[in-house]
């Protein structure tokens, strides 16, 4: 990117949100969104030595008032009845908010949130696609209110469309939502003509990808569609819905993105943040259901964040 990068202040460390309580969340024996996902990630980071390279961030922010800024009370009441342990759903949001605080105050340069449950399908209808509260959406609004950031870019590379995030900001010109996904897969949303409404028209960018989409296809989508939109939008903070079910050999997807491809996607998003957002990036775990493949993809992603 040719524009002059904004000066970054503060730490150059990469934050890492984790809490043992995330391992308690379960949707039943054999369910793909299981604690094994985080266990595999933690094993991989330890074996690679990255666990000593990142800075731990604890989920310490009371999330309830901020959840209410996105989700109606009816949804919150539904979650209280549907979730195995609703407090862990809240804890995932808390981790995302703590990461936003750490990045926005300069305690760390960027952060990855190894949180469960994921969030990008959550809207106002109760649990959807293993998601209960929309971690990234709540974090975006929190960054605006707590840290006075005007414009937030959310980048979602999950195999499944982030219908909940689209719902949250569909008429909002202060949040640019960019998603690559499989239109033919759950939840069946994310058509290219869904571009926002009212003042938010043009701030919702859906890029459906074909079966077997590989590194070249997804990187071209980011280069051709995300970069020009980001240049025009000039985000103050970049959030990533980091879904690794777009990786090759995932159990619930049929894309073919490699670990090297995720590194390239990360570099591209970081270049946007370096140009406009003082390098502020907060990434949050979404999908990824081949546990060992997920762990390798997260390693590649976190290693790239560390190289900022």
Q: Which two tokens stand for residue 183?
A: 């239109």
Mean pLDDT of 41-57: 98
Residue with tokens 């308690």: 24
Model confidence pLDDT, tens digit, residues 65-113: 999 999 999 999 999 888 678 999 999 999 999 999 999 999 999 999 9
Closest Cα partner for 133 from 66, 196, 183? 66
- In the predicted structure, residue 25 carries a pLDDT above the cut 50: yes
What is the value of pTM for the model shown? 0.96
Domains and CATH numbers, the chain: 14-306 (3.40.800.20)
Mean pLDDT of 114-122: 98
DSSP state of 222: I
Mean pLDDT of 299-308: 96
Is 149 in a helix, a strand, or coil? coil
Q: Among the options 121, 160, 181, 301, which is catalytic? A: 121
Model confidence pLDDT, tens digit, residues 187-224: 999 999 999 999 999 999 999 999 999 999 999 999 99
Question: Under 8 Å CB-to-CB from 224, ≥6 apart: which residues?
Answer: none
C-alpha of 189 from chain center: 18
Q: How many residues are present in the chain?
A: 308
Closest Cα partner for 59 from 116, 143, 127? 116
Burial of 303 (0-12, 13-18, 19+ CB in 10 A): middle
- In the predicted structure, residue 1 carries a pLDDT above the cut 60: no
- In the predicted structure, residue 4 carries a pLDDT above the cut 60: no
Rounded Cα–Cα distance for residues 261 and 284 (Å)? 18
Instruction: State yes or no: is 160 an active-site residue.
Output: no
Beta bridge partners of 60: none
Query: How many other CB atoms sit within 10 Å of the CB of residue 27?
Result: 14
Q: How many CA atoms lie within 13 A of 277 on its CB side?
A: 31
Residue with tokens 């209960």: 132
DSSP element (H, E) containing 119: none
């Amino acid at each position: 990117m040719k524009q002059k990068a904004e000066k970054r202040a503060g730490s150059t460390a990469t934050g890492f949100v984790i809490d043992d309580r995330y391992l308690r969340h379960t949707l039943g024996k054999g369910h793909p969104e299981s604690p094994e996902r985080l266990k595999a990630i933690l094993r991989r980071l330890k074996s690679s030595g990255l666990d000593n390279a990142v800075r731990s961030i604890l989920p310490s922010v009371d999330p309830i008032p901020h959840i209410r800024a996105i989700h109606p009370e009816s949804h919150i009441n539904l979650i209280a009845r549907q979730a195995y342990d609703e407090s862990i759903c809240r804890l995932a949001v808390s981790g995302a908010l703590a990461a936003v605080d750490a990045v926005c105050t300069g305690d760390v340069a960027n952060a990855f949130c190894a949180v469960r449950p994921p969030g990008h399908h959550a809207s106002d209808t109760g649990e959807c696609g293993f998601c209960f509260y929309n971690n990234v959406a709540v974090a975006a609004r929190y960054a605006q209110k707590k840290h006075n950031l005007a414009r937030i870019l959310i980048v979602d590379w999950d195999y499944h469309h982030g219908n909940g995030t689209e719902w949250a900001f569909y008429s909002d010109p202060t949040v640019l939502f960019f998603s690559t996904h499989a239109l033919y897969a759950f939840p069946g949303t994310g058509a290219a003509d869904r571009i926002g409404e009212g003042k938010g028209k043009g701030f919702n960018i859906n890029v459906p990808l074909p079966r077997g989409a590989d590194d070249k296809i997804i990187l071209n989508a980011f280069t051709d569609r995300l970069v020009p939109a980001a240049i025009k939008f000039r985000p103050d903070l970049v959030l990533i819905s980091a879904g690794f079910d777009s990786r090759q050999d995932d159990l619930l997807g049929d894309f073919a993105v490699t670990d090297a491809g995720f590194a390239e996607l990360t570099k591209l998003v970081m270049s946007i943040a370096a140009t406009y957002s003082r390098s502020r990036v907060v990434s949050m775990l979404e999908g990824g259901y081949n546990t060992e493949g997920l762990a390798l993809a997260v390693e590649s992603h976190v290693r790239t964040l560390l190289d900022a």
